[in-house]
Structure 1
Amino acid sequence: MSAAEFALPGAWRHTGPDAAAVRRVEVPYADLAAQLQALAADAGADPSAALAAAHVKVLGTLTEERVFGTDVLADDGSRDVRRLTAEPAAARSWRELVGQVAQALRSTAPAAARADGPRQPADRALLAVGTAALAPSDGASGPGRTYGLAVGAADGVLVLQSGGHLGAADLERLATMYRGVLEAMAKTPDGDAATNVLPDGERHAVLHRWAVGPSAGPEAGGVLDLFRDQAARTPDAPAVRVGGHTLDYRELDRRSTRIARHLLARGARPEVPVGVCLRRGPDLLPTLLGVWKSGAPYLPLDADLPAPRLRHMAAAAGCTLVVTRSEHLSLLGDPDRAEPVLLDAERAAIDALPHTPLDVAVGPAQLAYVIYTSGSTGAPKGVMVHHGGLANYVRWTAREYAARGTGGSPHFSSIGFDLGVPSLYAPLVTGQRVDLLPDPLDPADLGELLAAGAPYSFVKMTPGHLNLLSTDLAPEEAHGLAGLVIAAGDAFPTELARRWTELAGPGGTAVATEYGPTEITVGNSGQVITGPGPGGLVPLGAPIPNTTMYVLDDRLEPVPDGVAGEVYVGGAGVARGYLGAPALTAERFLPDPYGEPGARLYRTGDRGRWRGGALESLGRTDHQVKIRGYRVEPGEIRAVLQRRPEVGEAVVTAYPGPSGAQRLAAFLVPAAGSDLDLARIRAELAADLPEYMVPAEIVAVREIPLTANGKVDTRGLQAGL
């Protein structure tokens, strides 16, 4: 059985002037010895196997590796270091775990090093049981001196010794975990060995104090209701500004009602998405609100996407209507599948309809929109977002973002990118204005346009956009840009946050982060950045009201503070699932073991770890990447490439470009007897995929190199770029 070498958590590494000091702590277990001995006997094992099983269980709580190897000091007088391969997650009970560890101990083989030989890597662990144990009287020169953690047993006491890796507080935490595991083994031999035993205060923190957002209580009405109430309060206030045209709240409300009546007459109904293929113009927000007023959800269709992708999304979503304009009609394909509603050609008929309110109920459980994200199977997947989750998120952004000023927000992202959702709706539920920036938009013009429209209440963008603004704006422009800028949708370096804060100056535009996959309804956590923080990435922030955010292992057990795991999010914002994909929905949307009956969690695929209440981002558990804020599955691009007959093999990876932003590279092996025309491949990819999914580099290679473990050697491939 192949196994990765166990390593203590990097976040636990102790630094400071006393970093090299050897620390020890004792864990008495004499009161449990008889029960542990009986447990070992029932498992057909030596008594030391129970102590080794406890050791293996604690190590398994500290690593993401399901199967790992660690060192054992042989109990035969030879002082040979042997390798123990462990898989504690495979045991269903403590009794079974003891039996498995006993069998593994019997089959250990000598390792390449001896305990008194060259110094071991400081993050490794050593287990010493029986006559070779570390005794409480052992000095700093004992066999555990060269290990980050050495564990031995003698006279009813476990001795934990750190050779410099662990600080005193973390060693005490470990001692509590060892004692907790031994107690569980002794009291309930047939108990669930999958449960991670954490100190009581820490378990409460990672499952409740840090992981659960505040309860905002039930609030009636969705985003549409909040908009209607606002329109009644401020009918003459500007609601939407686009180019030289402004719609006030009265006009926006009436226009959207007329569009809703027109859609109802054409067959719009709840749960059946209405496609919206419009640019950022005067018709966009009346149409989105009008679809909701008809009771239907909308499906955003970005007019810049390739026609085949748009047609696939509309067909997969079951659209019978697509609201668009005549210039986009050719993108939509067969009108018998999805009947076009042409706002320009049908404007007279729409304008002749009454604007009096409609009596169409829109409840929190109904679909608000279906939005497509990249899928690993080679086809995009549609996320079904309900009105209740959207209302919870928009209410939060209204309080935290829009309340930062009175100038509203600019919207300059694709309607198919949910990052821009708060810029569309938070202003409209607070009496403020949405500025729709030109479409298409040259990124080089973004800074000038934002400075001209400032001051805003908030501006939400990707870290890439923020990086662009940090070089394009003058200090006085950054200072007065907005009450708050939010960088979301991609990894957010702390250095970028520092640069922006310095540029905006004291009392200037504050900067915040927001985190959340599409499946949690735009955002699940966020925070204003108040200090420079450590190097690396900005933490993901605290859960927003009525949501949860856990770091769990593959058994949905919480991991300790400072230990990496997978981020799971839950609460009010969890989407229904993926449209027409029940198997994928069941795989990613799981029952919440820590929530109310019926609650669900979304498995994000993001790695993270708690650090004293701050949730740090550690990248992905799979191959998904972010390109300019868009979530991309390289597998989807690979699938498109491998459909081509001249391509034998394809690998798509992400790599940092000159600015540090992620870029895509595709490496292609030609099929037998074929030549690769890379320029033609690029052009045809651009016809099938969005521009951000077309690799920046497409390279022909003779073969795909592999690592010693048989995996694709992406570093070797990228070395030639």
Structure 2
Amino acid sequence: MEVLSPPRSLARHPLFQVAFAVTEDAASLGLPGTRSHAVPTPLQQARFDLEVTYDVSDAQDGAAVHITFARDLFDEVTARALVEQLVALLASAADDPSTPLSRLDGPCRPGVVAGHVVERRSTVVADVLASVRRTPDATALREGTRSLSYSELDRRSAAVARALVDHGARPDTFVPVLMRRSLDLVVVLLGIMRAGAAYKPVHLSYPPERMREVIGDTPALVVLDDSPAAGLVADWCREVGHEVWAPGALEQEGLGAESVMPMVHPHSAAYVMYTSGSTGKPKGIVVEHAGVVDLCTDPCWALHPDDSTLFHSPHAFDATVWEIWAPLLTGGTVVVAPDAPVEASSLARLVREGVTQLSLTAGLFRVIGQDDPGVLQGLRSVTTGGDVVSPEATRRVVDACPDIVVRTTYGPTEATLCLLEHGWRAGEVPGSVVPLGEPMVNMSVVVLDEGLRPVPVGVAGELFVAGGGLARGYVGQPGLTA
């Protein structure tokens, strides 16, 4: 220590933090001319972070294990669990002493955690049309004073689909969409999928160069509205051979068409969403209909036909997959927020106007939970995720709104929005950390080490996911997909 002179912290032992010791019966020492006996010496203070002592005084019946731990670092449940894992590991080693340490298993390595398995063979298109048949006159979309019934949504989206088919749309064609948030946007997205194609939302805040990258990474039929962004990229689209259409004109063309609609299958591509690019260049993720149906019809949402769900996220953000399709697949109403960022004041007004289901980013949820959780009063549920969820905000919301369910979710873009969820109600608030949750329908997860083996509880690893909600892969990158 004097030679190395490492930085010293008085908060821990300078050499090690975990100690293992073996003790025997004092009488077994057998020192000549002496008598020996054990004297209990109860510790008043932990000498190390964790100390495990094996007492083999009565070895024929096994060893007694004693644990001493620093209460500032561990509680009794955690310390006991660590020792139980150690005992299981030693038992595994004793069963087969030739097994390398890195390959020892035993009860300390949990297996795959899977959600409920449901056999479903449906598509977004089929389920929305089922809602049309059940309640043709019910309100499907509402935007301010405008609204569309399910039968009107059916008629208008069919016209868009017929026009797209006439212009070359077919299964797994990708259709970039540059549109502002509106009732008409939902009509176009459904029409694209009814044509067998997949929609590819392009964020209107992207720089022109970024827009061109998203549009140009696949062969495409481009649909543009009259937003300022359209003029920035329309000329470029024409130069590279893409057709440019205003959605209204496209719909009008399809009203008199007699096109035969292609068959849409559960494994047909539904949409392409792009990652944030935090680990490099943004990547296009292809998600299939089956994944969207699993997500939106998961029983955890408990959606009803009388629910109204707010569509307020940018359409190039995958939260809109739930905001749009979950209500339409279950016969509810999509309430389209004004085409501007939603703030606490406007949120309160929209809730008062009849919104019952809402999705918020973890950041906005934290702000509302800290500043004015009462604005969520009247909601049946609020869903949040995409980042670390504040436990304090969760507590404040369920306290202020005892009838609400706060649903925390987790999942990468590659997994159809989310794959883990947990619902918090009054009296069920989280501790210091909000857990990721339990697997959703047809999804499974496991935490693995570098050798792709499950890690023991409490050991850091990497989360692996599988199931019906897993995306098909990355656009134009088969190597990365593999």
Among all aligned residue pairs of Structure 1 and Structure 2, give the percentage whose two residues are the same amino acid: 31
| Residue in structure 2 matched with residue 407 of structure 1 by the alignment | 307
Give the 3 Å change call, closer, same or farther, for CA 152–377 of structure 1 in structure 2. Answer: same
- Give the 3-state SS of the residue equivalent to 1:215 in structure 2: coil
Alpha-carbon deviations, 1:662-691, whole Å to 9, x = none?
xxxxxxxxxxxxxxxxxxxxxxxxxxxxxx
In 2, Cα distance between the equivalents of 1:489 and 1:579? 22
TM-score normalized by the length of structure 2: 0.83
Equivalence map 1:320-399=2 (5 Å): 320-327=220-227, 328-332=229-233, 333-337=236-240, 338-353=242-257, 358-376=260-278, 378-396=280-298, 399=299
Is 1:478 aligned with 2:373? no
Alpha-carbon deviations, 1:519-543, whole Å to 9, x = none?
1111101111134545433111111
- Aligned counterpart for 2:114 among listed residues 212, 215, 227: 212
| Residue in structure 2 matched with residue 496 of structure 1 by the alignment | 393
Deviation at 1:510, TM superposition (A): 2.1
Are 2:224 and 2:230, in contact at CA under 8 Å, matched by a contact in 1?
A: yes
| Residue in structure 2 matched with residue 149 of structure 1 by the alignment | 51
- Aligned counterpart for 1:246 among listed residues 147, 156, 160: 147
Deviation at 1:363, TM superposition (A): 1.2
In 2, Cα distance between the equivalents of 1:546 and 1:411? 26
In 1, Cα distance between the equivalents of 2:315 and 2:423? 26
Are 2:121 and 2:290, in contact at CA under 8 Å, matched by a contact in 1?
A: no
Is 1:511 aligned with 2:406? yes
- Letter of the 2:359 partner, please give it: K
Alpha-carbon deviations, 1:444-503, whole Å to 9, x = none?
5432342333241x111112222344467574x5331x2111112111111000111122
Deviation at 1:430, TM superposition (A): 1.6
Deviation at 1:254, TM superposition (A): 1.2
| Residue in structure 2 matched with residue 163 of structure 1 by the alignment | 68
In 1, Cα distance between the equivalents of 2:16 and 2:417? 38
Deviation at 1:349, TM superposition (A): 2.1
Is 1:312 aligned with 2:312? no
Deviation at 1:288, TM superposition (A): 0.8
Deviation at 1:297, TM superposition (A): 1.0
Deviation at 1:136, TM superposition (A): 6.1
Equivalence map 1:7-18=2 (5 Å): none
- CA root-mean-square deviation: 3.2
In 2, Cα distance between the equivalents of 1:548 and 1:469? 32
Deviation at 1:235, TM superposition (A): 0.9
| Residue in structure 2 matched with residue 105 of structure 1 by the alignment | none
- Give the 3-state SS of the residue equivalent to 2:238 in structure 1: coil
- Give the 3-state SS of the residue equivalent to 2:239 in structure 1: coil
Deviation at 1:160, TM superposition (A): 5.4
Are 2:161 and 2:192, in contact at CA under 8 Å, matched by a contact in 1?
A: yes
Q: Which runs of 5+ in 2 are unaligned?
A: 27-37, 71-77
- Give the 3-state SS of the residue equivalent to 1:403 in structure 2: coil
- Aligned counterpart for 1:487 among listed residues 384, 399, 404: 384
- Give the 3-state SS of the residue equivalent to 1:374 in structure 2: coil
| Residue in structure 1 matched with residue 353 of structure 2 by the alignment | 453
Deviation at 1:253, TM superposition (A): 0.9
Is 1:561 aligned with 2:457? yes
| Residue in structure 2 matched with residue 705 of structure 1 by the alignment | none
Give the 3 Å change call, closer, same or farther, for CA 168–441 of structure 1 in structure 2. Answer: closer
- Letter of the 1:478 partner, please give it: L
Deviation at 1:149, TM superposition (A): 3.4
- Aligned counterpart for 1:175 among listed residues 76, 87, 96: 87
Are 1:389 and 1:521, in contact at CA under 8 Å, matched by a contact in 2?
A: yes
Q: 4+ residue stretches of structure 1 with deviation over 6 A? A: 110-113, 151-159
In 2, Cα distance between the equivalents of 1:430 and 1:516? 23
- Give the 3-state SS of the residue equivalent to 2:176 in structure 1: strand
In 2, Cα distance between the equivalents of 1:534 and 1:334? 50
Are 2:178 and 2:202, in contact at CA under 8 Å, matched by a contact in 1?
A: yes
Is 1:294 aligned with 2:195? yes
| Residue in structure 2 matched with residue 467 of structure 1 by the alignment | 366
Give the 3 Å change call, closer, same or farther, for CA 284–402 of structure 1 in structure 2. Answer: farther
In 1, Cα distance between the equivalents of 2:355 and 2:251? 34
| Residue in structure 2 matched with residue 46 of structure 1 by the alignment | none
| Residue in structure 2 matched with residue 273 of structure 1 by the alignment | 174
TM-score normalized by the length of structure 1: 0.57
| Residue in structure 2 matched with residue 124 of structure 1 by the alignment | 17
Is 1:527 aligned with 2:426? no
Are 1:213 and 1:542, in contact at CA under 8 Å, matched by a contact in 2?
A: yes
- Give the 3-state SS of the residue equivalent to 2:169 in structure 1: coil
- Letter of the 1:537 partner, please give it: V
Deviation at 1:239, TM superposition (A): 0.4
Equivalence map 1:177-216=2 (5 Å): 177-185=89-97, 189=98, 191=99, 193-199=101-107, 203=109, 206-208=110-112, 211-216=113-118
| Residue in structure 1 matched with residue 475 of structure 2 by the alignment | 579
Deviation at 1:319, TM superposition (A): 3.6
The structure with higher relative contact order (CA 8 Å, sep 6+) is 2
Deviation at 1:213, TM superposition (A): 0.8
| Residue in structure 2 matched with residue 417 of structure 1 by the alignment | 317
Deviation at 1:353, TM superposition (A): 3.2
Equivalence map 1:58-97=2 (5 Å): none
Deviation at 1:171, TM superposition (A): 2.2
Alpha-carbon deviations, 1:142-173, whole Å to 9, x = none?
9x964613577988977755332574454233
- Letter of the 2:376 partner, please give it: A
- Give the 3-state SS of the residue equivalent to 2:122 in structure 1: coil
Are 1:512 and 1:527, in contact at CA under 8 Å, matched by a contact in 2?
A: yes
In 2, Cα distance between the equivalents of 1:403 and 1:566? 33
Q: What is the number of residues matched between the two proteins? A: 448
Are 1:371 and 1:416, in contact at CA under 8 Å, matched by a contact in 2?
A: yes
